[in-house]
Amino acid sequence: MIVALIDSGLGLLPTGAWLRKLRPDLDLLLQLDPDGAPWGPKPERWVIDRVLDAARRSLRLGAEAVVLPCNTASVTALEQVRAEVGPEVPVIGTVPAIKPAAAACASVAVWATAATTASRYQADLIARFGGEADVTGVACHGLADAIDRGDLAAVEHAIARAAEQTPAGTEAVVLGCTHYPLVLDSIVAALPSGVRLFDSAEAVAGQTLRRIDALGRPTAGTGTVTVYNSGRAGELPASAAAFESGRVLGAVDTACPTV
């Protein structure tokens, strides 16, 4: 059983690492798109075509399930990918954890990219799942890009800016970009003590395992991690080794600082 994960950059690492921890023998196909990253500001049709190309490549390489651990890919191309691959191939998308955060806390901040924060998609999610909670969007300018570069100084600066914009008294922060769990410790350190963090990586990994188990096929593999960068066989970028999730998935760069 090969499970493909598709994202423009390192946002697929947290979900991939959870899959590795929960099912170490599962074979993973990581499809990044450094040539086209970031996807957020790109036109919708462009993103759809890019994600569909990666999904088709995944099937050619033997994938039996496709995960979109990326909010942009999920909101833009999830239904198109499902139509492309057919009902026999599970396709699992990602949704920011607004619903559980709003159910547990009275005041919630959703940290996301500038494009997602300004999107109708996030506004609709807040309207649907925010309940009685006071939910505020916080644009984390440059954070995802800094994570992709492994630029830890820029990461800390972007987190500090986002923390300053987060309303006083906020009880929970939803990590609305799949890159952000990679710097969880830095985010915790920048927020007041007691603020709860919610992200979707573990839940997406769990849903993926449930969906592939429901297929009734053998899932045991050799624990292989295969990487494609914009359609080219390769390796995880050196910046992935700055993060625990990247190291769990085999990224190695002794010159890269860690967080």
Q: What is the pLDDT of residues 145-172, one digit of tens each?
A: 999 999 999 999 999 999 999 999 999 9
Query: What are the angstrom distances between the C-alpha of 256 and each of 84, 151, 178, 198?
Result: 39, 10, 21, 28
116: confidence class by pLDDT, cuts 50, 70, 90: confident
Tens digits of residue pLDDT in 44-87:
999 999 999 999 999 999 999 999 999 899 989 999 999 999 99
Give CA–CA dist 204/208, Å, rounded.
6
The answer to whether residue 259 scores a pLDDT higher than 60 is no
Residue 28 contacts residue 91 (beta carbons within 8 Å): no
Give percent of the chain above pLDDT 70.
Answer: 97
> Which among 105, 140, 177, 256 is annotated as catalytic?
177
Q: Percentage of the chain surpassing pLDDT 90? A: 89
Which of 199, 197, 192, 114 shows the shortest CA–CA distance to 158? Answer: 114
Rg (CA), the chain: 17
Which among 70, 105, 140, 256 is annotated as catalytic?
Answer: 70
Residue 140 falls in the annotated catalytic set: no
CA gap 253, 247 in Å, rounded: 9
d(CA 135, CA 148): 27
The predicted pLDDT at position 254 comes to 46
Q: What pLDDT does 258 receive? A: 42
What is the C-alpha separation between 255 and 155, in angstroms, rounded?
18
Q: Residue 36 pLDDT more than 90?
A: yes
Instruction: Decide if 177 is catalytic.
Output: yes
Number of helices (H), then strands (E), in the chain: 11, 10
Supply the pTM of this predicted model: 0.91
Nearest to 213 by CA among 93, 125, 92: 92
In contact, 195 and 171? CB cutoff 8 Å: yes
Residue 102 has pLDDT above 90, yes or no: yes
